[in-house]
Amino acid sequence: MTPAAASELLLSIESTCDETAAAVIRRDGTVLGQCIATQETLHEQFGGVVPEIAARAHLERILPVIDTALTQAKVRGEDLTAIAVADRPGLAGSLLVGVVAAKTLALAWNKPLISLNHLHAHLYACQLIEGAPANIYPAIGLIVSGGHTSLYVCRTAIDLEYLGGTIDDAAGEAFDKVAAMLSLPFPGGIEVAKLASQGNDKAYSFPRSMIHDPGDDFSFSGLKTAVRYAIVGPGRQDFASLDISDQVKRDVCASFEAAVVDVLVSKCRRAIKRHRNRNNNPQNSINRLIVGGGVAANQRLRRDLQAAADKDGFELWIAPPHLCTDNAVMGAIAWKKFEAEQFASLDLDITPGLQRGF
């Protein structure tokens, strides 16, 4: 590393949903300071993230979180090289807090501003795996998060082509809704996964929607309804009054998780096969899969993707579990935008909502 690179420092800010996070990352990727304030206790009584509550909590936490990251890194604002913030996609109020904080600090400290696509950052978490090659791109990218289930061709970290995605619920959303049906604690994905590891994945035959569809789209809402019918039968609404045995819960979770994972793995295998021999031109061929987002922390998904990679002979990189859920360290992708001189102006606005099709 050159002496200049050692002193080049990025402040990365993340506030797209319900985690307020900041990190100080050196140009060589070393994380000098980081802080995440989670909001789980604020939302658990509602069984999901309440956007208004999330925005207010970000507002209270954003400056202390940034301050903690800078203090940990022993860096003053004036010493920074650039400030990066996720401006899309996400909850409007949540995004706004991060973007306004980043713009204000960029103005006060006279630093360049870099805007980040949160989804691209989730995939970039794979580049941060210890032992990963210097460049994991080009690759097919799978994002599996609470809001998104999407496949991309990633030519570089910041040049992505959308292949397809869910037409209804995201994989993480389905995990969370099944957790709610079973009255499991919030956030639900990890709780479903815990029970699934002790259940029989063949106890229920849940649908693998669109698994035979040749395209790259997904659908998980039919699976969610099938789980609902398995638990209560059609017509009944009140999950809270149900008395479901622990064994049934474990079996429902295992069978549900198997259905989600089967579809994700099958779609990835097909996308890789299609791009491996593209036009028989080695220059266009891609034989590498990168996977990020909260659901990428799921052990069964990780295991089954690895088995598919071994069988089909493709290279696989899955974000480290601690970088699967939302964090600011994956904002290291901002260095790629810095190198490409892709800076944002102080007019930067948020692009909220779900991101489909691009």
**Which residues would be at the binding site for ligand KG4 (CB under 6 A)?**
17, 145-147, 172, 175-176, 187-190, 193, 293-295, 297-298, 325-326
From the CB of 271, what's the least distance to ligand KG4, in Å? 20
Residue 190 touches which member of ligand KG4, Zn ion, none, C-beta under 5-8 Å by kind:
ligand KG4
Binding site annotation covers 176?
A: yes
The string of DSSP letters for 5-57 reads: HHT-EEEEEE-SSSEEEEEEEETTS-EEEEEEEE-HHHHGGGTS--HHHHHHH
Q: Count Cβ atoms below 10 Å from residue 67 Cβ, excluding itself.
A: 13
- How many residues in the chain? 358
Cis omega (within 30 of 0) for bond into 187: yes
Choose from Zn ion, ligand KG4, none: what does 147 bind? Cβ within 5-8 Å by kind. Answer: ligand KG4
**62 is an annotated ligand-binding site residue:** no
**Closest distance between Zn ion and the C-beta of residue 325, in Å?**
7
Cβ pair 241, 183 in contact under 8 A: no
Burial of 253 (0-12, 13-18, 19+ CB in 10 A): buried
- Please, which residue, 138 or 146, has the CB nearer to ligand KG4? 146
DSSP code at position 282: G
Q: Between residues 39 and 298, which has the closer beta carbon with respect to ligand KG4?
A: 298
Closer residue to ligand KG4 (CB): 90 or 138: 90
Least separation in angstroms between residue 110's CB and ligand KG4 is 31
Cβ nearer to ligand KG4, comparing 8 with 169: 169
Q: What is the rounded distance in angstroms from the CA atom of residue 188 to the CA atom of residue 184?
A: 6
Q: Give the nearest distance from C-beta 3 to ligand KG4 in angstroms.
A: 36
Residues that bind Zn ion (CB under 5 A): 145, 326
Please give the Cα distance from 20 to 99 (Å, whole number): 12
CB of 47 to ligand KG4, least distance (A): 12
Is 201 annotated as contributing to ligand binding? no
Is 143 annotated as a binding-site member?
yes
Cβ proximity to ligand KG4: between 141 and 147 the closer is 147
Q: What is the DSSP string of 50-101?
A: -HHHHHHHHHHHHHHHHHHHHHHHT--GGG-SEEEEEEESB-HHHHHHHHHH
Q: What is the DSSP letter of 323?
A: G
- 122 annotated as a binding-site residue: yes
Detail the residues annotated as belonging to a binding site. 118, 122, 143-147, 176, 189, 298, 326
Which amino acids are annotated as binding site for substrate, given as ranges? 143-147, 176, 189, 298
